[in-house]
Amino acid sequence: MKIKAILMITGSTLATAGVAQAQVEGCTGGQPPANAVQLFDGANFGGQCIQYRMHRFPATGYGKMWEQGWNDRVRSFKVGAGVRLRLFEHGFFAGFYQFFQGDVGSMANWASSLRIESRERAPDCSNMVAGEVGVWTHADFQGDCYIMSGGGTRYLADEGFANDSVSSVRNLRDTAIMLLWDDPRVIQPVVGFPPFPPTVSDAGLRNLPTPPWFQWNYVGGDSNDEITAINL
């Protein structure tokens, strides 16, 4: 038990270096900064307000809204000029989601977590560049998506992406990546790619980027919705 706790602290430090939790601030009126969003618990930007701002720009930032007492509370919001706001139905970036690039004066109070994304990045992560790794919640590069660069063992939930949700992966690095089923801070059943998973479809093969890059339009029955971390 003691060893497990130490390993978890180490992992948390690595994740913090990788980006990503948005700065939580008060609102000062007017429009939010270009890299921030403002949430209101009243319609038409009324009631109480909280601001989330990404640390680095352009990049992404995420908010665990329930930790600030904002679970299922947002009724309207303002979006900074350089970012897109993605709201998720459940905590830890799971469930139904919608993204917005403009202010919304009235919405039902369903949002439980959020991600702030640079507008330079396509909402469907279709404008990746060499050196990046992308993950999608559905097969064929559909659904919610997230793009990583850099290195290390990256815990998806620590970067604002739902745990156990990945169904397709695109690797535009020149090196292999490792998809980790469970939290390697505790246990390590590992799936490594390449080699190619046998379940990749003909459609995936036709759409392959230039080798040695790889993509998996479906990561496979055993690995689908099991990925917790990726070793870059």
Residues forming the site for Ca ion (CB under 5 A):
72, 89, 110, 112, 137, 165, 167, 225
Residue closer to Ca ion by CB (options 123, 152) is 123
Rounded least distance, CB 212 to Ca ion, Å: 26
Cα separation, 71 vs 101, whole angstroms: 21
DSSP secondary structure of 101-122: SS-BS---S---EEEEEETTS-
Rounded least distance, CB 72 to Ca ion, Å: 5
Residue closer to Ca ion by CB (options 66, 118) is 66
Residue closer to Ca ion by CB (options 69, 151) is 69
Residue closer to Ca ion by CB (options 83, 111) is 111
Among residues 103, 108, 226, 102, the alpha carbon closest in space to that of 167 is found at: 226
Rounded least distance, CB 225 to Ca ion, Å: 5
**What φ, ψ does residue 35 adopt, rounded to 5°?**
-105, 25
Strands 46-53 and 23-25: what pairing?
Answer: antiparallel
Among residues 157, 186, 156, 184, the alpha carbon closest in space to that of 169 is found at: 156
Residue closer to Ca ion by CB (options 89, 103) is 89
C-alpha R_g of the chain: 18
Q: Is the peptide bond before 197 cis (omega within 30 degrees of 0)?
A: no
Rounded least distance, CB 32 to Ca ion, Å: 22
Residue closer to Ca ion by CB (options 67, 72) is 72
Rounded least distance, CB 82 to Ca ion, Å: 26
Cα separation, 112 vs 210, whole angstroms: 39
Six token digits for residue 54:
């990404």
Rounded least distance, CB 33 to Ca ion, Å: 26
Q: Give me the helices (H) in the chain, please.
A: 2-17, 202-206
Residue closer to Ca ion by CB (options 137, 217) is 137
Cα 122–Cα 70–Cα 90 angle in degrees, nearest 5: 55
Rounded least distance, CB 6 to Ca ion, Å: 32
